[in-house]
Each structure stands twice: as C-alpha cells, then as structure tokens.
Chain A
C-alpha cells in the first residue's frame, strides 16, 4: 500500500447558490520517500489540496490516509498530534514568530513534547546546522535575509524529524540563486528519506520533484511522466535512474 493515499477528495466551500467546489474527486498516491510537486494556476485548488494533505482542512468527501491512518477520522486534537508527529510545514511567507530567536523558532514544534530544554536545543541546533545556519541561532527573524528565513522555516519543519514535509511556494519570494539553494536543500532532505509534497508555480522548482501533480479547476489533470515532459520541453538534462532524479 502507498504511504499517502488520497481517495476521491472533494472540498466544497459555502452552500446553496454560493457553493464553490475547490477540488473534485482527486485521487493520488505518494510513496514513502517521494518528492512530488503540485502545480496549477492561482485558484486551481492546489492550496486547498495541500491544506487537506496537511491535516488542517477536512474534505467534504473522500478519504485521506497516511501510513494507514485515516487522518480525517481522527478527532481534532488527535489530528493536531498527527500534524506534530507526521508533518513538517514550510509556509510560503515562512511564518516565523517574530519575537522568538532563530533557534527558538526552530524549537517551536518541540515545545509541547516531553524533553528537557537542553535536548530540545541540541535538536534545534542540529537542524539549523543541517540547513547551513549554524552561528545564527540567537538572531531574530528581522535580523536575517529572506533566504535565511526560508532555511529557518525548513529547519523548524524538520526538527522533529517528520516523515512528510509540506512546502507551499517555498521559494516564492527568493532570488534565483537562493531558490536553487533552497531547492537543493529540499532535494537533499528527500534523498535522506523525507517524503516531500511541494506546491509551486515555478516549473523550474517543479523539476526538482520526481513527480508532478497538476491541478486545474479543482481537478487533477496530469500525473506521472510530466516531469520528463517538462524537462524535455525546457531542454533540462535528465539525470539519475529512470530519468526521475533530475538533479543530483
């Protein structure tokens, strides 16, 4: 069985004449250790899809299963625990807490777990080290660059070693060089075993994924094979086994 399974996911906002179907009957699976991009135009439903995958937005119908856990059959607080243990979030605008230092921001997901402060700090520092931000632990978010904020957000997302990482436009506000650094970082995390689902507008970023899900008008319109097509279309050389690993 696949690690992540979405079965006939639909989400309707509002009711009656004001009802809007954000996504219709979406089915997909993601294997453990995959790196999947979700692409689509604005309003296509990709953010709704990601929020459902993030266990934060119950679908109107359908089923969403992670590691054989039917996520939306869990109670609200159990689902919160699920998010803490299974999912790391990298938000589009980083969403760092402005009054906490870099290391404290990274420690946030560890706040509610039972471990002493020293242990939490060691984990946070290791995570920061992993994203190349060692030495900047005591800075406030306002004292670091956009790329560094993104790295802090990634460090926070991986500090408790979640099996799944969800990223929403993680490079949306970054320059080209920093974008590639961040994408390289996500790719490295994926190589280390983290399953990644990433929403992006950028075809260039999408090429870092092994597979692309394209959403249009709330429906999944393309599946596997798109990455290759995209790469051929943009003349990006394919590398790696089976042509799926695009960049080393």
Chain B
C-alpha cells in the first residue's frame, strides 16, 4: 500500500469522473495530434500538388532594358526583341548539384509572324516538357507534329481558325492540330508549334528566347538552384518566381498557425475540464482527505495523491488521444485528399509528444486542486472528530 495504490484505486472507484477527465484531455490531445498529422500530411500533399503548378524559375537573356509590359499589356513595343540564349547552354542545367530537383525544363523561342493579315506572336515550345511546366493546358485536338500548330483560344477566334484548318506562316503550310482551351494567360493570344520548327521558321536555330524550369518544391532550395543555374548559364538572367514560392510558404505557414491556434484553444478547454473535474473531486473527498491528514499524511502526501491521479489519467488520455487523432487524420485525409496522394504513418515521436502533452496539461491543471486538497484542515474536513 502506497500513495500510488491509493490514487489508482480512487480512479477505479470514481470511474465517471475519471472518464470525464480522460475524455476532456483525450479530445484535446487528439485534436492536436490530428491537426499536426493532418498539417504534415497535407503539407507533403500540397508540395506534390504545387509541383504541378508548373514553372517556378525563369531563365531569360540578360538585358539592359527594363520591361515595358505588364500583365500582357505592352506600353513600349514588344519586349521579346532581345538577345537569345544558346540552347546547348540549357543542357548544363541537368548537371547542376540540385539537378534531381529539376522536374521540367522548357525552352521557348518567340517571334512575330503575319498570319491571315494579323501580327501574331509565334512560340516554339517543347510540348513534352509543357505537360510538367503547364499542367493546366488542355488542348482541343492533338499535340502538333512537325507541320502542325496549336492556337491560343483568342488567336483562333481572331483568325477564325479551327482544328484542321490550314494556316500559312512565313510561306510554309501548317495544319491547326488543336486549339488551346482558355487559360486566362498570354498563352491564349499565341500560336504554338514545336521548338525545332519554330527555330527554323524564325531563323533562330540553336537559340531560345527564354526557358522555364519547374523545380520540385519539397526541400528544394530555390534560391540555391537559381544560383547554380546562373553559374552554368552565364549569359542569362535566372529568376525565381517569388510569388509562387512565397505563396506556397505563406499558405502552409498560415495553415500551421491556424492549427496551432486551434490546438492551444482545445488544450486550454481540456485543461479547464481537468481543473473543474479535479476541483469537484477534491471537494467530494473532503472527509477522505481529512482522514488522511488526521492519521498522519503530510500535505505533500495529499498533494502527491491528487497529482498521481491526474498523471495516471493524463497518460492514458495521451495514448487514447493519439490513437483517436491518428484515426481522425486518416479519415480526414481520405476525405480531403482528392488524389489520395497524402498519407499518414504512426509516429513514435508523436505518441511520446502526445503523452507528454497530456501529462503536462493534466498535471498543470491539477496543481491548484492538489494544493487546495493539501491545505485542507483535518479538523474542519472531518467536521471535528
């Protein structure tokens, strides 16, 4: 018979109260576990999805001029009339230290051509790379072969051309193999054809106007990759599309902040449940505590009994909370992860963390009730012997 036995037996006797504390803490812990697990799983999932957002690094020729276009609106002539990058320089990108993080590399060559009496911007692209760089592209029709072109939706409307229409560009006959569905970007106003064909028509063999790079996001050091690419393509200016990178980081950071906020609130509510229940329990046990004190239990012994009870329940709540949180996360991932890309694995660190959190909260919330119990006057508690 020791203090631990007394604490444990009291819990068994007051099952309803113990279960109430257990539930309060377990809900708090499970919420924290669920939010952390869900955030982690979704972070990974979002990273995967963000990769599909396409290019996040641009490689353009170095120029002394400032761009006079904004959002597709040109105020000072077309800014594509500039130097080109040598296509072979771009192959060096595959040999940079972080080459494994390069998910796609899409060189583009631009030139202005006259089609059906309109001046149109012609873009030579690598259609294979474009699936990675511009996964949102949807073509009504087929990817063009050597003698085919794809029209942006607005271009098709302005020129009055459809899939299968013949079109002449710089004296060479092409067939419209497809029309790009509206993208809401400048792509809607372009004519696309394979890179090699465009280079030939524009007399820019071996040259590209710019290149887009899709870097894998998870753990990829974008600024570092920019530096590495700049080193291997010295004649080009390499820029990270900051909005995308910062956007993803901010989205995740906001979600994490929200999760932590919710976690704190839920844990506070849980600790209040513990506090109120333990206070009730101590008041209910006034006489019993009086007996303990009368027969020689020191204040510290009574204090310890209450904390031991809280510790037992809290540890159980930690384990239960982890299991519940894990199950909830599994369910939530199943619901919210459309592609099924996100997953969750049991984490011993999280189990340990859950138990530690529950015990910490349980003990902290029980300190005051334990203090009150220990300060109980045995004479008053027993209503005088």
**293-348 of chain B: CB within 8 A of chain A:** 293-301
A-binding residues in B (CB < 8 A): 1-3, 5-6, 9-10, 12-13, 287-288, 290-301, 377-379, 382, 384-385
Interface centre among A48, A108, A110, A156 (most CB of B within 10 A): A108
Inter-subunit contact B13/A95 (CB<8 Å): no
How many Å lie between the Cα of A166 and that of B295 in the bound state?
11
**Can you name 17 A-B pairs with beta carbons within 8 Å?**
A51-B384, A54-B294, A56-B377, A57-B384, A77-B298, A77-B300, A83-B294, A84-B295, A89-B295, A97-B288, A99-B9, A100-B6, A100-B9, A104-B5, A110-B1, A111-B1, A121-B1
Inter-subunit contact A99/B13 (CB<8 Å): yes
- Shortest B373–chain A CB gap in Å is 14
Residue of A85, A97, A166 touching B385 (CB-CB under 8 A): A166
Interface centre among A89, A111, A117 (most CB of B within 10 A): A111
Nearest 8 CB-CB pairings of A with B: A84-B296, A99-B13, A107-B1, A56-B379, A57-B379, A47-B384, A109-B295, A168-B385
How many Å lie between the Cα of A85 and that of B379 in the bound state?
18
**199-237 of chain A: CB within 8 A of chain B:** none
A14 at the interface (CB under 8 A from B): no
Q: A76-B299, A100-B9 are in contact. List 8 more A-B contacts (CB 8 A).
A: A51-B385, A56-B293, A80-B293, A80-B296, A83-B294, A89-B295, A104-B9, A108-B1
How many Å lie between the Cα of A108 and that of B297 in the bound state?
9
How many Å lie between the Cα of A77 and that of B374 in the bound state?
11
- Shortest A146–chain B CB gap in Å is 18
Residue of A83, A99, A100, A117 touching B296 (CB-CB under 8 A): A83
- Shortest B381–chain A CB gap in Å is 9
A112 at the interface (CB under 8 A from B): yes
Contacts of A77 in B (CB 8 A): 298-300
B-binding residues in A (CB < 8 A): 47-48, 50-51, 54, 56-57, 76-77, 80-81, 83-85, 89, 91-92, 95, 97-100, 104, 107-112, 117, 120-121, 124, 156, 166, 168
- Shortest B103–chain A CB gap in Å is 65
Inter-subunit contact A109/B296 (CB<8 Å): yes
How many Å lie between the Cα of A168 and that of B385 in the bound state?
6
Contacts of A166 in B (CB 8 A): 385
- Which residue on B lies nearest to A168, using beta carbons? B385
Inter-subunit contact A83/B295 (CB<8 Å): yes
